[in-house]
Amino acid sequence: MNTFGELFRVTTFGESHGPAMGAVIDGCPAGVALTTAHVQAALDRRRPGQSNVTTSRNEADQVELLSGVYEDKTLGTPIAAVVRNTDQRSSDYAKLAKEDRPGHADKVWRERFHHRDPRGGGRTSGRETLCRVIGGSIAEALLAREVPSLKTVAWVSQVGPHILATPPAALTRAQIDAHPTRCPDPRLAALIEADLIDAKAKGDSYGGVITARIDGMPTGLGEPVFGKLKSLLSSAVTGIGAVTGVSWGPDDLERRLALKGSEFHTTRDVYGGIQGGLSNGEPILLRVLFKPPATLADHAKAGRHDPCILPRAVPVVESMISIVLADLWLFSLARPHRP
Amino acid sequence: MNTFGELFRVTTFGESHGPAMGAVIDGCPAGVALTTAHVQAALDRRRPGQSNVTTSRNEADQVELLSGVYEDKTLGTPIAAVVRNTDQRSSDYAKLAKEDRPGHADKVWRERFHHRDPRGGGRTSGRETLCRVIGGSIAEALLAREVPSLKTVAWVSQVGPHILATPPAALTRAQIDAHPTRCPDPRLAALIEADLIDAKAKGDSYGGVITARIDGMPTGLGEPVFGKLKSLLSSAVTGIGAVTGVSWGPDDLERRLALKGSEFHTTRDVYGGIQGGLSNGEPILLRVLFKPPATLADHAKAGRHDPCILPRAVPVVESMISIVLADLWLFSLARPHRP
Amino acid sequence: MNTFGELFRVTTFGESHGPAMGAVIDGCPAGVALTTAHVQAALDRRRPGQSNVTTSRNEADQVELLSGVYEDKTLGTPIAAVVRNTDQRSSDYAKLAKEDRPGHADKVWRERFHHRDPRGGGRTSGRETLCRVIGGSIAEALLAREVPSLKTVAWVSQVGPHILATPPAALTRAQIDAHPTRCPDPRLAALIEADLIDAKAKGDSYGGVITARIDGMPTGLGEPVFGKLKSLLSSAVTGIGAVTGVSWGPDDLERRLALKGSEFHTTRDVYGGIQGGLSNGEPILLRVLFKPPATLADHAKAGRHDPCILPRAVPVVESMISIVLADLWLFSLARPHRP
Amino acid sequence: MNTFGELFRVTTFGESHGPAMGAVIDGCPAGVALTTAHVQAALDRRRPGQSNVTTSRNEADQVELLSGVYEDKTLGTPIAAVVRNTDQRSSDYAKLAKEDRPGHADKVWRERFHHRDPRGGGRTSGRETLCRVIGGSIAEALLAREVPSLKTVAWVSQVGPHILATPPAALTRAQIDAHPTRCPDPRLAALIEADLIDAKAKGDSYGGVITARIDGMPTGLGEPVFGKLKSLLSSAVTGIGAVTGVSWGPDDLERRLALKGSEFHTTRDVYGGIQGGLSNGEPILLRVLFKPPATLADHAKAGRHDPCILPRAVPVVESMISIVLADLWLFSLARPHRP
C-alpha cells in the first residue's frame, strides 16, 4: 500500500501531475523540535533544477505543514505535509496521452489499474520520492533527539564506469553536497560531471551505486526473524524507483563471494554492522544499485530529464534509512528490559 | 516481529534447541488441496544430513498439522504446523553456555535480550528457516490452485569462485535437486562438490549466489510505492540469515552498471520482469547473495556444520518468494476491476 | 494510531484549531465514480450551524481533493482530502490556554502528551469526526459500485427521556434528514427539538441513542474469531467521542436479557444479522449510546456549543459503518472460492 | 484474521474437534517470569465441567509451551502454547454432519467457507476462547512486572432477571471464584444457581451481564482517535462469541441516558475512567452483555451444554482486557517523553 513503517508510519499520496503531493507521518512522539524550514531544507536537497547535471525542470517544491506541529514542536498527533505541484506543463505531456512511453511502466500500470493517467507518470514518477524525503526529515528530527550519536550519510560511489573503490572516512552531508554529483572524490566527480553533461545532451543516461554509512547505531535494533535490520533496509531502499539491487559491506560483494570463509571473515566490517538481523553497534555500510533511467529517442525533451538520478537520490536513500531507524528505535523502546 | 505477509500471513515460532519449531499460516482460503505429505516433502528438501556436502546432523523434521486442514482440504482457518526438535545434543552445546561464539550473533543477542539461550542459536539459528519452508509449501499449494502457470525455481549459480555465467533455460526443481549441490551445470557442480568436501573437512566455508526464476507471473502484482514487488521480494530473501545482497537480472549487476543507458536497456530481461514496482508478465530473475558461514577453529565439530548453506537454502529462497507471491495474489483480488 | 481499516484504510490528521483537517484513503480500487461534490454533500450533513438544535458556530468545511481522483474516477492511488479550518476564533479560546476545561480530556491529554494545545480540543475535539465522514463518503462510493443492494441508514432513536420504541420500517437518509433532530417520528422529534432548544439556552445537554440499520448485506462478511463483524462495528462506533455503549438488536438489550433463551430467541431479528461473527444476510440493527456532552457553567458560551451531538453524529455513525463494510468487502474478495 | 493486538500480538488457531487448539504470543519482552503452571491455572478457571452450573463435558485442557520460555523466563521470542483436544466424542456430532444446527452459525459458515466442518463448531465454537485465555495469562504475566498496581477483576452481575444493582467494592478473583456462578453476592448467586440447574435440565438457557473493573490504570493509555481505549476494549470483548453489547459505567447505561447532562455528570465514575479516548487513572467499569446460548430441542444432549456461559466467560473477559492493556502499555513505551 502507501504506508511505510509500523510505529513511525509514513503514508504518502499524490500524482506527479495532480494538485499536490504529500505525506502524513503518524507515530512521532510529542515534543520533538520541528519546523517547516527543517523539512524544506531536506526537500531542497532533492529538488530538480539544482545543477547542470540534473533535469532543468525547476520546481520550487514548497512544503506546508497542515497539522501535528505547534510552536515548533510536534504535538504527538499526525503530521500532514503538502507540496503543491506547480510545474504542470501539460503541453509537454499532451502527446503522451495516447501512447505508452517505452521503458516506463505505462503499459503495466494500464493493465493493473485499467486506466493510465494521461498527464504522465502518476505515482510511478520519481516525483513521489519527495514524500519520502518529507518522512525522512521528520524521522531525522526524532532521531536527533532520541539518538544524537546516529549519523546517516550517503554519497555517489559509482556512476557508469567511474567507481570510488574505497569508502571515504566519515564525511558530513555538507561535504557530500559540495559537489553537484554528490561524489566525494573531486577527481572522480569531475569525470562523472563531464559524462553526465554529455549524456544529458544526447538523451542518454547512467546508473550506478549510492553507498550509505550509518554511524553511531545503538545495538540490538532489528528483529531476529522477519524484521531483520537488513531485511527492513533492503525493503526501504529497493522501493525507490530505479533501484535494482542492494548489498552490504564496503565494496563489490560479488567479487568478495569468490573468497573462502576463512579469507572473507578476516576483516571486521564485512558484517556490515549487522549480526543475527540486529545492529551490533559498528558502522553499517549499505550499497544501493541504480539502473540507468530509460533513455529518450526524442532529444528535444532531453533537457527536462535527469541523465542520472543518483545525485538527487542521495537524500532519498538517507530518508528511507532514517524512516527505518526511527521505526526500529520506537520498537526498541516497546521491549522494556527490567534488570 | 515474527509474522510475514499481510493477507497470507506466516507467523513462526521456536528455538532451535527448545521443544519444537513451527508456523501458523493465516489467510489461506478454504478448499485448497493440502496434505501433511506435501509439507513434509518440502521440509525434506531443506533437511540437514541430505548429502556429503551438508552437515552430518541428521534431523528427521517430521511435521504435524494441528489445525486448518480437514480431509486434505484447507478449512479457511489458521493452519498450525509443528516440528518437534529431536537432535538436541545439548552436550555439543554445553560449553557454549558460557562463551559467545565468534562470528555468531550471540553477543548482540545478549545485549538486546539481556540473556542468551545457552542451548545455542535460538531464533537466529539457520534452523528457523524450516518454518519458512512450511509457510512456502502452503503458499505453493494455494498458488497451484490460483495461478497454475506460476513456477518459481531457484538454483545455486555461484559457490566461491565457481560461477554459472548464463542462467539455464527453464528447469524444474527435480532437475535442480538431481545434484546435491543444487547447481544445474554438471561440470561446475562437480567442482563445487569437491571444494565443499574439502572445506567441510577443514572447517572452512563458502558463500555464493542463488538465482531464482519466476515464470508465468500474472501482470500487475505489487504496489506502486512502498509495496513494490522488488521491495517485497528483497525484504523476503534478505531476511534469510546469511544473505548479504540481492539484485535483479541475469548476471552480475555491478558489472552492467558500467554501461550507458543506451547499452544497458538493449536487452529485454534487464527489467527483471518488474516495471514501476509491478510485475509485467515476463520472467523475473532474482539473485540472492550469501556470505560464507562463520568458520570453525575447532575442527572436531566440523562435521556437524554446513560448509556452505546454499544447497539447502534453495528451497528456503523459493519459499520466501512463494509467500510474497501468495500474499500479492490475494491483494490483487482485493482490487476489483469492474469494466 | 490514526489509521482505521486494513485494506480500505482511512488515515486522518488535523487539530481543530490548526490550519486544516483531512484524511488519506488508501486501498480504494481504481475506476470508482467519485467527485468533490459527493464528499462535500456528506460533510454538509455533519456541518455545524445546520439548525437551531445544533451549535451556532458556522463552519463552511469546504473539502478539496488533492490526489487519487481524475476526471471523476478514482485512480487506485491514495485519495487525500483536506478541509481548511476557517472559524479559528482564538479569542474564544484565549482563556482556555491556562486552565483545563472540566469534563474535557484536557488534563489526561496533558499528562499523556506533556503539553496541551492551548487553542482547544486538538485531536479530541468532535471536529475530528469530519475526517471520518470524508472516509465514509468514499467508502460509500466504493460500496455503491460493489454492493448496490447495501443501504446503511441511521437515525436518532432516543434523546434524554424521549424514546422511539419501535424501529421504523426501512427509511431513506432523506427522510431522516427531513427533521433537524434526525428523529424520524414527527411527534417525538418535536418534543426533542423543544428540549434541545431549552438545553441550549441553559447550557445543559442531552445524550441518547442512534440506531443504525444495515440492509442488503452480503452473507459471510466478518472473520470468525478476532475480526467478527460485531467486533469491528463496535470498535468503529465506540471510537466516536461521546459513545459510551453499543448493542445489537431492535431495542433496549438490557431489558431483553431478563428473558430465558427459549423466549429471547423466538424473534428472528435478535441475532441482529450476525451469526458466528459473520453477516447472515438479514438486516443488522445496531444501537449506539451517547452520553450527554459536558455542560457549561458559562452560559455566555452556550450558543457555540451543541446541546446534543446526536443529530450531527448520525452521518458519523453511518460513515464508520461504511468504512468497516468497505474494508470487509475487499477482504471477502481476497478469500476466493473455486468450486 | 486470527491475530489480535499490534505490539503484544496473540495469534490463535485450532478447530474444536481437530487435533489441537493453541496460540502464539509475539511481542512479549524477555525476562518476564512465566511458567506452564501459570498458564494452566488460567485455563483451569475457564475449563468445562467445573460445577453443576456448567456443561458436564470434562476436558482436561492441558497446555504445553513449545517455545519462547526457558528456565521460567520469557526469551523475548514468540511463545507458542498448545492444548490437545481430547474429548472428541465424534459420535455426539455424527448426525450434525448433514444438518445445520438451528441457532448456530453453521449455515452462514457454509455460505462463507463453502464447506462446514461436520465435526462441529470449528472456529466458531466457544472452545476457541481457551486460546484467548492463554493470551490473557501471558499478558497478565507481563503486566504483573510492568504495572504491578493494575488489577482487572470481572464478575457476573446479571443472569436473566437477577441483577446485582450496585457494583461491589474492590474484590479479588479468588473472592469471585468462591461461588460457581461467579456472582459475588451470595443471595443472588443462590438464585442464579437454582435457575441454571433448572435451565440445564430443560435445555433452556440464560444470558446476562459480566462487569469488569480495572483498577490501578496508568494514565494516558489509548490513542486519541481510532485507537481509543474504549474502542479497543469494545472490540476485544464483543469479539467473544455471545456478546451482544458493551457499555461503560456502573449500571444500566440506557436508563441513565434519560437524564440531562447536568444530572448525568454529577457523579465522578460516569466517565468510566476514560476521557478523550485515554485512561485518566480512575477505575474503569465495563459492562459486557451476553445473549442466552441457543437452546436445545433435544433434551438428551442438554447435559453436555452450558445453560449460561457467563460463569466460564469471566476469565475470558478478563483475558481480552489484559491483552488490550498489555498492548497499550507497550505502545505507551514507544512514545517517549523527554522533558
Question: Using one digit for the tens of pLDDT, what is the confidence trace for C6-29?
Answer: 999 999 999 988 999 999 999 999
Model confidence band, residue B295 (pLDDT cutoffs 50, 70, 90): confident
Mean pLDDT on C94-115: 69
Contact C219 D105 (CB under 8 A): no
* CATH number for B98: 3.60.150.10
pLDDT in tens, C225-243: 999 999 999 999 999 999 9
**Of C15, C20, C115, which has the smallest distance from its Cβ to A31's Cβ?**
C115
Rg (CA), chain B: 20
Average pLDDT of chain B is 89
Cell 505525506 appears where?
A: A23
The Cα of A182 is separated from the nearest Cα of chain D by a number of Å equal to 35
Instruction: Examine residue C339 and state whether it is found in any structural domain, yes or no.
Output: no
The Cα of D94 is separated from the nearest Cα of chain C by a number of Å equal to 21
pLDDT in tens, B120-146: 557 778 899 999 999 999 999 999 999
The Cα of D74 is separated from the nearest Cα of chain C by a number of Å equal to 25
Mean pLDDT on D185-196: 96
The number of residues making up chain D comes to 339
Q: What distances in angstroms separate CA B262 from CA A105, A127, A202, A204, C44, one per listed residue? A: 18, 23, 10, 6, 55
Model confidence band, residue B339 (pLDDT cutoffs 50, 70, 90): confident
What are phi and psi for residue B240, nearest 5 degrees?
-80, 135
Strands A79-84 and A63-65 come out as: antiparallel
- Grid coordinates representing A6 are 509500523
Residue B187 CB neighbours (<10 A): 10
Number of domains in chain D: 1
Q: Please, which residues 120-149 of chain D have a Cβ atom closer than 8 Å to chain B?
A: 122-123
Average pLDDT of chain A is 89
Question: Would you state the pLDDT for residue B102?
Answer: 64
Q: Are D21 and D14 contacting, i.e. CB atoms less than 8 angstroms apart?
A: yes
Residues B215-245: b if buried by 16+ CB within 10 A, e if exposed: eebbbbbbbbbbbbbbbbbbbbbbbbbbbbb
Residue type, B296: L
Q: pTM value?
A: 0.95
Question: Would you state the pLDDT for residue C271?
Answer: 57
Instruction: Examine residue D339 and state whether it is found in any structural domain, yes or no.
Output: no
Q: What distances in angstroms separate CA C299 from CA B203, D22, D260, one per listed residue? A: 85, 58, 16
What are phi and psi for residue C329, nearest 5 degrees?
-65, -45
Lowest mean pLDDT across A252-266, B154-168, C56-70, D298-312: D298-312
- Grid coordinates representing A212 are 550509505
Rounded to the nearest 10°, the torsion over CA B216, B221, B225, B231 is -50
CA dihedral sign, ordered D306, D310, D315, D321: positive
Eight-state DSSP code of residue D314: H
C-alpha to C-alpha distance for B5 and D147, rounded to whole angstroms: 32
Instruction: Examine residue B68 and state whether it is found in any structural domain, yes or no.
Output: yes
Q: Are B206 and B308 contacting, i.e. CB atoms less than 8 angstroms apart?
A: yes
Which subunits count as partners of chain B given 3+ CB pairs below 8 Å? A, C, D
Looking at chain B, the whole-number percentage of residues with pLDDT higher than 90 is 66
pLDDT at C65 over 60: yes
C-alpha to C-alpha distance for C110 and C280, rounded to whole angstroms: 45
C-alpha to C-alpha distance for D315 and D140, rounded to whole angstroms: 12
Contacts of A114 in chain B (CB under 8 A): 337, 339
Full 3-state SS string of chain C? CCEECCCCEEEEECCCCCCEEEEEEECCCCCCECCHHHHHHHHHHHCCCCCCCCCCCCCCCCEEECCCEECCEECCCCEEEEEECCCCCHHHHHHHHCCCCCCCCHHHHHHHHCCCCCCCCHHHCHHHHHHHHHHHHHHHHHHHHHCCCCEEEEEEEEECCEECCCCCCCCCHHHHHCCCCCCCCHHHHHHHHHHHHHHHHHCCCECEEEEEEEECCCCCCCCCCCCCHHHHHHHHHHCCCCEEEEEECCCCHHHHCCCEHHHHCCCHHHHCCEECCEECCCCEEEEEEECCCCCCCCHHHHHHCCCCCHHHHHHHHHHHHHHHHHHHHHHHHCCCCCC
Model confidence band, residue A91 (pLDDT cutoffs 50, 70, 90): very low
Range from B273-287, C264-278, D72-86 that averages highest in pLDDT: D72-86
> Is C227 at the interface with chain D, CB within 8 A?
yes
User: Nearest residue of D to residue A142 by CA position?
Assistant: D336
By residue range, what is the domain housing residue A320?
A: 3-334
Contact B231 A245 (CB under 8 A): no
> Is C115 at the interface with chain A, CB within 8 A?
yes
Residue type, D280: N
CA dihedral sign, ordered C7, C8, C14, C16: negative
> Is D190 at the interface with chain A, CB within 8 A?
no
Model confidence band, residue C60 (pLDDT cutoffs 50, 70, 90): confident
Model confidence band, residue C140 (pLDDT cutoffs 50, 70, 90): very high
Question: Would you state the pLDDT for residue B89?
Answer: 54
pLDDT at A90 over 60: no
Residue ranges of alpha helices (H) inside A147-185 are: 173-177
Which subunits count as partners of chain D given 3+ CB pairs below 8 Å? A, B, C
Mean pLDDT on B319-329: 98
Contacts of C12 in chain D (CB under 8 A): 225-226
Lowest mean pLDDT across A202-216, B181-195, C199-213, D288-302: D288-302
User: Nearest residue of B to residue C33 by CA position?
Assistant: B338
Contacts of A217 in chain B (CB under 8 A): none
**Of D13, D31, D79, which has the smallest distance from its Cβ to B80's Cβ?**
D13
Contact A338 D224 (CB under 8 A): no
Q: Please, which residues 53-92 of chain C have a Cβ atom closer than 8 Å to chain D?
A: none
What are phi and psi for residue A78, nearest 5 degrees?
-60, 140
Question: Would you state the pLDDT for residue C267?
Answer: 59
Question: Would you state the pLDDT for residue D91?
Answer: 47
Beta-carbon contacts of C69 under 8 Å, excluding residues fewer than 6 positions away, are C34, C35, C75, C79
User: C interface mutation test: which of D197, D238, D310 has the most C CBs within 10 A?
Assistant: D238
- Grid coordinates representing A72 are 515548533
Residue type, C125: S
> Is A228 at the interface with chain B, CB within 8 A?
yes
CA C12 to chain centroid: 14
3-state secondary structure of D104: coil
Q: Please, which residues 38-57 of chain A have a Cβ atom closer than 8 Å to chain B?
A: none
User: Nearest residue of A to residue C29 by CA position?
Assistant: A113
pLDDT in tens, A123-150: 778 899 999 999 999 999 999 999 999 9
Residue C90 CB neighbours (<10 A): 12
Instruction: Examine residue D269 and state whether it is found in any structural domain, yes or no.
Output: yes
- Grid coordinates representing B247 are 539484485
Instruction: Examine residue B339 and state whether it is found in any structural domain, yes or no.
Output: no
- Grid coordinates representing B24 are 501458523
Residue A60 CB neighbours (<10 A): 14
Instruction: Examine residue B193 and state whether it is found in any structural domain, yes or no.
Output: yes
pLDDT at B92 over 70: no
Nearest to residue A293, comparing CAs of A251, A235, A246, A240?
Answer: A240
Question: Would you state the pLDDT for residue B187?
Answer: 95
User: D interface mutation test: which of C107, C257, C295 has the most D CBs within 10 A?
Assistant: C257
Question: Would you state the pLDDT for residue B48?
Answer: 77
- Grid coordinates representing C307 are 446541546
Half-sphere exposure of C5 (CA within 13 A, CB side): 31
Beta-carbon contacts of A34 under 8 Å, excluding residues fewer than 6 positions away, are A69, A72, A73, A74, A79, A138, A141
Instruction: Examine residue A106 and state whether it is found in any structural domain, yes or no.
Output: yes
Residue type, C221: L
Contacts of D80 in chain B (CB under 8 A): 13-14, 20, 22, 82
Contact D66 B119 (CB under 8 A): no
Eight-state DSSP code of residue D239: T
**Of C20, C24, C113, which has the smallest distance from its Cβ to A76's Cβ?**
C113
Average pLDDT of chain D is 89
C-alpha to C-alpha distance for B35 and B72, rounded to whole angstroms: 5
Residue D244 CB neighbours (<10 A): 23
Beta-carbon contacts of D205 under 8 Å, excluding residues fewer than 6 positions away, are C260, C261, C262, D199, D292, D293, D294, D295, D306, D307, D308
Does the ipTM exceed 0.85?
A: yes
3-state secondary structure of B21: strand
Rounded to the nearest 10°, the torsion over CA D65, D66, D70, D71 is 40
Contacts of C22 in chain A (CB under 8 A): 66-67, 80
pLDDT in tens, D240-256: 999 999 999 888 888 88
> Is C2 at the interface with chain A, CB within 8 A?
yes
Range from B306-320, C57-71, D292-306 that averages highest in pLDDT: B306-320
